[in-house]
């Protein structure tokens, strides 16, 4: 039997340094995402498969060079998968497993419960950009260099928009319901939200609708930036409005358990 | 708004918490003195967890005053949390996180945490440090949750059913840790529905049911109070009770509730026991299974509520 020396638990309370706390939380969640098989399927394997498939197979009409027009949509898909679907599902199950309550009982400030998650999501998005970008380059992708900075801005705004929507969805409902809804919404947006089929190729009203959706705005914005070398401020604006609206609602509805 | 009882680590007065039409906590008072252990004892649904979560700042009271280390747990939560260790009911960790990763994360939130490797070792978790949380046994998850509550060197810990799902060895370890916490100056408030645990660990036991305090005091006070005291022994049936009553001090009464089971009721003291054994010697019989009967907390609880404690 263990025996504890006197003074073992003498109180010495105090708050850890904020950057260290935040980094520890973000790193933990980043590592957990990369270690989770289902998350990897969603964040890397499906986008990779679609990147290669849509580039090499003539299943849907895509302007040529195909890889230049497919890659922006796949990057939008990757951001959506990680920041929205993956994040919502993880949040739903983390709440179920008492993680948020556990962290909320530490010295971590409340806002960092979400900020730490967003940092982790950004880390995963960075990994996705590198992997997908490298594979696209092998397939012959030639993005407009002038569009790289606007594309980065779009990715950040898209991560904010989808991340806020992910927290909104994952922070309220039961884990199983989150799982079902997040996957359904993902599929709908992939098919009809301007990802697989470009916004312009969707039928009339759907095309207008898709342009206002975060999926359509991000995919179309990335196309304008990376194919056209321009800065699509409209798309950035749409994403920021989604981020602000979803974030404001999520801040009120997020439940710890 | 400072608590008048300045020395209290936890001060709760007139606490009320409603969930819709259900009143979970109904005018509850609590007082935890520094470096002492308070057990909140009651059946499931008595309001234990609700009370603790209000003290932790996770829920707002509907009425009443709650002060933890002199602070309002909701309004001053940011100042309070670094000083308080919390073990929520059922633990709390990412399903896929390894035990050591989780404890490291919680340790990173503290200024001067305990050594994580050491803590895992003493809690018997060193062997599962790399095992994901969802694959730990219930008892291991509980021990990890306890480690998370202690790692920040808090001055007060809230432990919600700390030993549920633990095997006897682990339970014994938790008991030892709670004793060491108190000796080292940490105040402890824990909930349990096990009488033995409350009796063994707590300086102060508060028995609650339907959100109200039904009894409180030290375990000794609670189990003594109300009982005149009973001395029981087993001997051949049909001994002369009149002769026994003749040697007992005034106020004592001897009876034989069942043949061969003898009961002496009255104020207990060592002299009375000597008197009874001397009388048995005179009768030429052994007083077998001689014992001072003491009420258990379960007896107390049953008397107060008429309900099973483990319901």
Q: Are B288 and B256 in contact (CB under 8 A)?
A: no
Question: Which residue among A11, A35, A102 places its CB closest to the CB of B88?
Answer: A102
- What does the alpha-carbon distance between residue B100 and residue A31 come to, in Å, rounded to a whole number? 14
Residue B83: closest CA among B179, B5, B130, B152: B152
Which residues does chain A have within 8 Å of residue B86's beta carbon, measured at their own beta carbons? 105
CA nearest to B156, candidates B34, B72, B26: B34
pLDDT digits (tens, 9 = 90+) for A39-96: 999 999 999 999 999 999 988 888 889 999 999 999 999 999 999 999 999 999 999 9
Closest residue in A to B105 (Cα) is A24
Per-residue pLDDT band for A203 (boundaries 50, 70, 90) equals: confident
**Cross-chain CB nearest to A101 (options B92, B105, B122):** B92
Condensed to tens digits (0 to 9), the pLDDT of residues B215-255 reads: 899 988 887 655 557 888 999 999 999 999 999 998 888 98
Q: By CB neighbour count within 10 A (0-12 exposed, 13-18 middle, 19+ buried), where does B67 fall?
A: buried
Helix, strand, coil abundance in chain A, percent, nearest 5: 75, 0, 25
Residue holding tokens 């790193």? A27
pLDDT digits (tens, 9 = 90+) for A126-139: 999 999 999 999 99
Best of A32, A87, A105 to disrupt the B interface (most B CBs within 10 Å) is: A105
Residues of chain B with pLDDT under 70: 1-6, 224-228, 294-296, 299, 306-311
How far is residue B75's CA from residue B88's CA, in Å, rounded to a whole number? 20
pLDDT, position B231: 86
- The predicted pLDDT at position B199 comes to 86
Q: How far apart are CA A44 and CA A48, in angstroms?
A: 6
Q: Does residue A200 carry a pLDDT above 90?
A: no
Alpha-carbon Rg of chain B, whole angstroms?
24
Q: How far is A225 from chain B (nearest CA, A)?
A: 38
pTM, to two decimals: 0.85
DSSP state of A4: P
pLDDT in tens, A74-84: 999 999 999 99
Between the two ends of chain B, the Cα-to-Cα distance in Å is: 39
Residues A137-162, mean pLDDT to the nearest whole number: 96
Count Cβ atoms within 10 A of the Cβ of residue B18 and give its class: 0-12 exposed, 13-18 middle, 19 or more buried. middle
């Amino acid at each position: 039997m263990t025996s504890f020396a006197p003074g073992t638990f003498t109180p010495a309370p105090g708050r850890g340094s904020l950057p260290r706390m935040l980094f520890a939380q973000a790193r933990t969640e980043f590592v957990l995402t990369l270690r989770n098989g289902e998350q990897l399927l969603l964040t890397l394997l499906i986008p990779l498969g679609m990147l290669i498939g849509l580039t090499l197979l003539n299943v849907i009409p895509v302007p040529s060079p195909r890889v230049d027009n497919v890659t922006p949509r796949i990057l939008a898909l990757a951001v959506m998968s990680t920041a929205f679907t993956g994040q919502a599902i993880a949040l739903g199950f983390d709440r179920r497993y008492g993680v948020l309550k556990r962290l909320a009982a530490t010295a971590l400030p409340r806002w960092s419960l979400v900020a730490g998650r967003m940092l982790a999501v950004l880390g995963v998005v960075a990994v996705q950009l590198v992997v997908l970008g490298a594979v696209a380059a092998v397939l012959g992708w030639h993005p407009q260099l002038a569009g790289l900075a606007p594309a980065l801005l779009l990715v950040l705004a898209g991560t904010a928009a989808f991340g806020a929507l992910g927290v909104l969805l994952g922070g309220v409902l039961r884990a199983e319901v989150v799982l079902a809804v997040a996957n359904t919404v993902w599929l709908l947006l992939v098919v009809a939200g301007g990802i697989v089929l470009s916004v312009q190729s969707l039928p009339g009203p759907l095309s207008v609708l898709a342009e206002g959706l975060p999926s359509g705005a991000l995919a179309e914005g990335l196309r304008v930036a990376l194919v056209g070398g321009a800065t699509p401020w409209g798309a950035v604006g749409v994403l920021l409005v989604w981020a602000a609206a979803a974030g404001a609602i999520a801040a009120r509805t997020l439940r710890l358990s | 708004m400072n608590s008048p009882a300045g020395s209290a680590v936890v001060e709760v007065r007139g606490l009320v918490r409603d969930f819709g039409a259900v009143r979970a906590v109904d005018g509850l008072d609590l007082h935890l003195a520094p470096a002492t252990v308070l057990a909140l004892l009651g059946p499931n649904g008595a309001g234990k967890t609700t009370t603790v979560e209000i003290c932790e700042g996770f829920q707002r009271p509907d009425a009443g005053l709650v002060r933890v280390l002199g602070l309002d747990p909701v309004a001053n939560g940011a100042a309070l949390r670094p000083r308080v260790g919390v073990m929520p009911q059922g633990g709390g960790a990412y399903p896929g996180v390894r035990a050591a990763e989780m404890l490291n994360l919680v340790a990173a939130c503290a200024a001067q945490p305990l050594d994580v490797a050491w803590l895992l070792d003493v809690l018997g978790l060193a062997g599962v440090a790399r095992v994901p949380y969802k694959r730990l046994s219930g008892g291991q998850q509980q021990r990890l949750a306890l480690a998370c509550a202690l790692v920040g060197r808090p001055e007060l810990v809230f432990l919600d059913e700390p030993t549920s799902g633990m095997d006897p060895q682990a339970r014994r370890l938790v008991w030892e840790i709670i004793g060491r916490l108190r000796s080292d100056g940490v105040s402890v408030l824990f909930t349990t529905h096990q009488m033995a645990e409350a009796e063994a660990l707590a300086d102060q036991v508060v028995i609650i049911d339907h959100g109200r305090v039904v009894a409180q005091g030290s375990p000794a006070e609670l189990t003594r109070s109300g009982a005149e005291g009973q001395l029981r022994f087993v001997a051949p049936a049909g001994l002369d009770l009149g002769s026994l009553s003749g040697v007992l001090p005034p106020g004592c009464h001897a009876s034989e509730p069942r043949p061969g089971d003898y009961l002496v009721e009255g104020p207990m003291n060592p002299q009375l026991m000597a008197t009874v054994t001397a009388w048995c010697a005179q009768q030429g019989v052994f007083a077998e299974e001689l014992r001072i009967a003491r009420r258990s907390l379960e007896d107390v609880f049953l008397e107060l509520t008429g309900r099973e404690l483990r319901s």
